[in-house]
Structure 1
Amino acid sequence: MKVSLALLGLVSVVADSYDDQAEAIVAKMSVNQWIAQMAQVNIGFILNADGSVNTNAITQCAKLGVGSFLNGAFTPSQWRTLVSQIQSIYAANNAPPALYGLDSVHGANYVTGAILSPHQINKGSTFNPSLVQNSAFITARDTVAGGVNWVFAPGLDLTVHKRWSRVYETFGEDPYLASQLGIAAVKGIQSAPGVAASIKHFIGYGATSNGDDRGPAYLNDYQVLNYHAPSFIEAVKNANPLSVMASYVSVNDVPMVVNTHLTVDLLRNDLGFNGVLLTDWEDIYNLNYVHKLVNNNQDAIAMSMSKSSVDMSMIPYDLSFISLAQNLVNAGTIPSSRFRQSAKRIIKMKLQMGLYQNSVPGGDYVGLVGSAADRQAALDVARESIILLKNQNNVLPLSGQPKIFLTGPSIDNIGYLCGGWTWLWQGVTDNSKFPGSYSIKGAFQNLYSDQSKISSLQGVDISGVTTDSLNTAKYMASQAQYTIIAVGEQPYAEMVGNTPDATLPAGQLQYIRDIASTGTKVILVLVQGRPRLLNGVADVVHAVIDAMLPCMMGGQAIAEIILGIVNPSGRLSIT
């Protein structure tokens, strides 16, 4: 007990020290500098039209004291050059070091050369906190290898509506599972020196009432506290995330960036969270643009500052938040103390991250990006995440190397295996960005010693449109003992993935029926970020594998499971 009390005392002293240091720094700043700390701007603001760095724009940000930047996609060395330039200019202008954030949601997906892991929905299906924590550490390590210090992850939303386009960014629908894996992910991210996690999206985002991304949620306090809050409560209590990202969602018709009940009463008072609360993209201005609660962006800032505990605005296109907030202070609409409070939280977070000692951390990690060990770690997650949904008459695993026909829109496409947030916001749709990795087809070819036993044809595209002769596809299937058909979704992220119908495209479903009619034994592989309706085709095939979005190492994992090299052990995290 004496040891425990001593440790608690040490933690308190450290926390008080950061608080005291932040107070000393903030006390020497002007009101305008407090406001500027709350501004986060997109990388486009500091780049020229040709993509080169605009040092004048960075200097402008430094002189104002802009708190943070976000976005971009570069190699580790290119990232380090950019971040070093920013921090150098900031130091020359006596500005606090800058935060730089990225949506590193399944590996360092904006760091060229990184090995990307399966998406969060796959990690949920592993039920394995150790795998999740290690994967999160690799994500943070590869991100900070570029000097980027803020990871907008993990997602602690729960899946409620299964058409929601961000299902794959969750651990599933269970509060306990999301809590335990969320703790592991935060610990993994923040174990990389100089990196802060941002748990997201607070709160109720997955409860979209219409299935669309950013659809309104209608929740009573019981539902919030017993279903949506536990993952955030447990992360705050057990993993100390340094930041939280607010949700786009309106809960009971109140947008999160003006939601006193949730961002003040629940987050600050009940959960005791004292870190930084960041908005999502342009979300304060959405009070004007989307919700139409105000007539201009200045009034949007006033409403958010008076009703929420938001600390940083992802503006993101310009510096308008600063001048508009200054107007509010000058007019006496919002007291300067409101901005001081948020600036102090932001400065404290920078102190906790060690940015005042090393503003460009991660230099020792550059050589580890894309390592063989990372590839193995991603493969381990993929293997443990893939779910066997049907195995009629124990058709799987296949014995030896039987004659197989490989077909379907996802059979030879690593981009489809990876989904959204893969090198680009909306992902990629081919194999060119994944050197050293295999599609499902490529993995079978790599594992088979006799290539004459493998035939392949795409058959239909991801929209269900025929790409090859159906008669040819049926003939090739009839000549094979087994046919592996990989179907599913094209990559998408956020509202771009909205769909009014959960059914897979009719052309894909008919193609499965046509191939099954030949008498070949069909193994159906689902490559998708959310559950999709199959309209009975599961009944005409012999095996169904739910691969979800296993990404770069998913092709190998799928082939290994079908061939019996690896036992499928994934479990559904969504009913």
Structure 2
Amino acid sequence: MNWKKAAIKAALLCVFLVASAGCSAKTKEAANVPESSERVLVSEDGESTSISKESVDEIMLRLTTAQKAAQMVQGAVYSITEDDMKKYDYGSVLSTFGVPMEAREWREIILGLQKNALKSEAGIPYIFGNDAVHGVNTCAGTVIFPHNIGIGAANDEELTYQMGRAVADETRLVGVLWTFSPCVAAAEDPRWGRTYESYSTETELIKKMGSSFAKGLIDGGALPCAKHFLGDGNTIYGSGENSDGTYRLIDRGNAQLSEAKIQEQLDIYQAMIDSGVKTIMISHSSLNGVKMHENEKYITMLKEEMGFDGFIVSDWNSIHNISGGNLKEQTIAAVNAGIDMLMEDTSYEECRKYIVEGVENGNIPKERFEDAVRRIISVKMELGIFDDPMMENQNTYKDQVGSEEYRELARTLVEESLVLLKNEKEILPLKKGTRIFVTGPAADDVGAQCGGWTISWQGKTDEDNGGHKWVPEGKSILDGLKALVEEYELTLITDESQASQADVTLLCLGEKPYSEWEGDSEDISITGTMALAGNKKAIELADSLGLPTITLLVAGRNIMIQEYLDLWDAAVICYLPGSEGDGIANVLSGKKSFQGTLPMPYYSEISAIGTEEVLFPVGYGLQY
């Protein structure tokens, strides 16, 4: 670990390891459980003894308005101390990105907060949330699965369910019980920076993959969160939100949808509800001009017409961008619109106070307030966190993160997600004894394979990480080829001066890692603004060699390649395969076969987006 990481870790840990000097050993009443709920005594050293049972009704009766309001806010882990939790007992805490701490370090922080929640006067266990959108991406050593767009290309319900089980298992090993996934957006414009978080443009495919993943999470003991309600993938280019000094091209923009199109999106969420999803996150975007965070009509529809009995959470600080002259007005408007928990990285305590004030002066109806808190506590009970708040009796399938079984699962999903776009003269699969010149910036870069939401919010290439793997345990495309050298009698050439000795060029191109609006781009060419820096040079080199060329595209969307496609004998879109990139080599060699199909239209040019003029249609994919 370098000194910078050590310093960051130390600073983060310091926030939570505040000494409790002078505390007596006297026991104090704290938590409880479901129907089956048990009231417990928690001593200052953290030991507990069950003494009675409480129902949700009983808990609601004993909590004060201030204590109930605390259940309705969620702060960031870097803002809330153990003393804060002991004093206020907030309903939830969410993690942040940038420091890949070990599982034991995360558990220490998470359970340290939990111990103090149980020592609080309210004594309600909190839930820790994480954006485990393709694995527990803030914890060192975990498996990073393909992003959703690749899962959509694989279109394998059973494997997607198993992925959900595996992710749930690793989240619980880390101490996390709530994951902000699956994302069930129907991305329509590849210029959107969150395209790779979408399974598909097709409603039925989204429903299948989203439901399978959610069921896997639930059966694995985690709490899924379907997001982002409603229409986040349908926003219009040029309508992006302009806030916090940031102008976005498309992200958080306005979706102009007909009633029929809205119903398609509602059907996706109905499938999530029917699958057992108990939390739903609201979209930053607007629907027909109304910000979703104040769209009472559709939030109420979830609860009153679609049978949703879980709770609704806002997205990161998003209520700050709805109507209202200040945060107080915005807090009241969001709660009255039907949002039950507010995700506020630093303003959570302000929001708690505004909720209390709103209830006391009648600006927030008592019925709305009580319903929000009841939903949150009920979900916690169903999750089982009242039964085992310190996670002492959890049964995980694995003893530690990063198991070979889960890596093999991820590798299989990689193999199934690859889409063969072109294969002239049957150049693929590679023949035994082939001499391969491997080139291009995506050939040996695990960070590029993983994309955004990997350790940090935006992710990072290995090159930008000083040449070190951004995910140390990850396998690159080149790693995978090296592992097959002996079995397939391959000769790998990476030295440009020896390229003429090769039989074929393997050209590995990709996009820079990005997330959300940072990935919005008007230029999504393979040599455009979001492309890896060496793409153009590598394309020119491959062309100058005159060898048969196989091109691999490592990207979070169907990037524009029409200008170069005729130069290549074969082309494969790999999407963002995650940490097990060696699965790509297995398919290239013929050890495994191509199975993936396009989950979204592949447009030939920007002007064709949204039309029927496509380079390759949804469902396209060649096979051996």
Out of 63, 77, 91, the residue aligned to residue 43 of structure 1 is 77
- Local SS of the residue matching 1:454: strand
Correspondence 1:247-286 to 2 at 5 A: 247-265=283-301, 267-286=302-321
Give the distance between the partners of 2:199 and 2:443, measured in 1 at CA: 25
Whether the aligned pair in 2 keeps the contact of 1:165 and 1:213 (CA below 8 Å) is yes
1:232-284 per-position Cα deviation (integer Å, ceiling 9, x unaligned): 111212x111111111111111111100221113x122212111100110011
Give the distance between the partners of 1:372 and 1:326, measured in 2 at CA: 49
Deviation at 1:329, TM superposition (A): 2.5
Out of 575, 585, 604, the residue aligned to residue 559 of structure 1 is 585
The code of the aligned residue for 1:158 comes to A
Out of 487, 492, 504, the residue aligned to residue 482 of structure 1 is 504
Deviation at 1:476, TM superposition (A): 4.2
Match of 2:19 in 1: none
Give the distance between the partners of 1:493 and 1:437, measured in 2 at CA: 20
Deviation at 1:17, TM superposition (A): 8.1
The code of the aligned residue for 2:350 comes to S
Give the distance between the partners of 2:34 and 2:83, measured in 1 at CA: 32
Whether the aligned pair in 2 keeps the contact of 1:478 and 1:519 (CA below 8 Å) is no
Match of 1:523 in 2: 550
1:118-157 per-position Cα deviation (integer Å, ceiling 9, x unaligned): 1111111111110001011111110111221101111111
Match of 1:441 in 2: 478
The code of the aligned residue for 1:500 comes to E
Sort the Cα spacing of 1:394 and 1:279 in 2 relative to 1 into closer, same or farther, 3 A: same
Match of 2:8 in 1: none
Deviation at 1:369, TM superposition (A): 1.3
Whether the aligned pair in 1 keeps the contact of 2:458 and 2:514 (CA below 8 Å) is yes
Give the distance between the partners of 2:597 and 2:498, measured in 1 at CA: 33
Would you say 1:505 and 2:543 are equivalent positions?
no
Would you say 1:310 and 2:339 are equivalent positions?
yes
Would you say 1:215 and 2:253 are equivalent positions?
yes
1:50-94 per-position Cα deviation (integer Å, ceiling 9, x unaligned): xxxxxxx32323322310000145322112212221111111124
Whether the aligned pair in 2 keeps the contact of 1:148 and 1:360 (CA below 8 Å) is no
Give the distance between the partners of 1:44 and 1:82, measured in 2 at CA: 10
Which structure has the highest helix share of the two? 1
Match of 2:171 in 1: 143
1:199-231 per-position Cα deviation (integer Å, ceiling 9, x unaligned): 1111100001016221211112211102x2222
Match of 1:460 in 2: none
Deviation at 1:440, TM superposition (A): 1.3
Deviation at 1:401, TM superposition (A): 2.6
Which stretch has the larger CA shift, 388-397 or 513-522?
Answer: 513-522
The code of the aligned residue for 1:223 comes to K
Would you say 1:340 and 2:370 are equivalent positions?
yes
Would you say 1:571 and 2:609 are equivalent positions?
no
The code of the aligned residue for 1:440 comes to I
- Local SS of the residue matching 1:368: coil
Which stretch has the larger CA shift, 356-365 or 506-515?
Answer: 506-515
Whether the aligned pair in 1 keeps the contact of 2:414 and 2:583 (CA below 8 Å) is yes
- TM-score of the superposition, structure 2-length normalised? 0.80
Gaps of 5+ in 1: 1-13, 47-56, 288-292, 458-472
The code of the aligned residue for 2:65 comes to V
Match of 2:513 in 1: 491
- Local SS of the residue matching 2:128: strand
Deviation at 1:434, TM superposition (A): 3.3
Match of 1:3 in 2: none
Match of 2:389 in 1: 359
Out of 122, 131, 134, the residue aligned to residue 103 of structure 1 is 131
- Local SS of the residue matching 1:277: strand
- Local SS of the residue matching 1:124: helix
Would you say 1:349 and 2:379 are equivalent positions?
yes
- Local SS of the residue matching 2:228: strand
1:454-494 per-position Cα deviation (integer Å, ceiling 9, x unaligned): 2215xxxxxxxxxxxxxxx4x64433210011112011111
Whether the aligned pair in 2 keeps the contact of 1:218 and 1:251 (CA below 8 Å) is yes
Match of 1:290 in 2: none
Out of 439, 446, 452, the residue aligned to residue 407 of structure 1 is 439
Match of 1:128 in 2: 156
Sort the Cα spacing of 1:336 and 1:298 in 2 relative to 1 into closer, same or farther, 3 A: same
Sort the Cα spacing of 1:327 and 1:178 in 2 relative to 1 into closer, same or farther, 3 A: same
Would you say 1:548 and 2:575 are equivalent positions?
yes
1:504-531 per-position Cα deviation (integer Å, ceiling 9, x unaligned): 2257346424422422011000000011
Give the distance between the partners of 1:128 and 1:476, measured in 2 at CA: 41
Give the distance between the partners of 2:433 and 2:456, measured in 1 at CA: 37
Gaps of 5+ in 2: 1-32, 38-53, 238-248, 463-467, 529-533, 602-624
Give the distance between the partners of 1:269 and 1:335, measured in 2 at CA: 17
Give the distance between the partners of 1:345 and 1:282, measured in 2 at CA: 21
Question: What's the % identity of the aligned pairs?
Answer: 29
Displaced runs of 4 or more, over 6 A: 14-18
Give the distance between the partners of 1:224 and 1:327, measured in 2 at CA: 35
- Local SS of the residue matching 1:285: helix
Give the distance between the partners of 1:106 and 1:452, measured in 2 at CA: 32
Number of residue pairs matched by the alignment: 524
Would you say 1:78 and 2:105 are equivalent positions?
yes
Give the distance between the partners of 2:267 and 2:355, measured in 1 at CA: 34
- TM-score of the superposition, structure 1-length normalised? 0.87
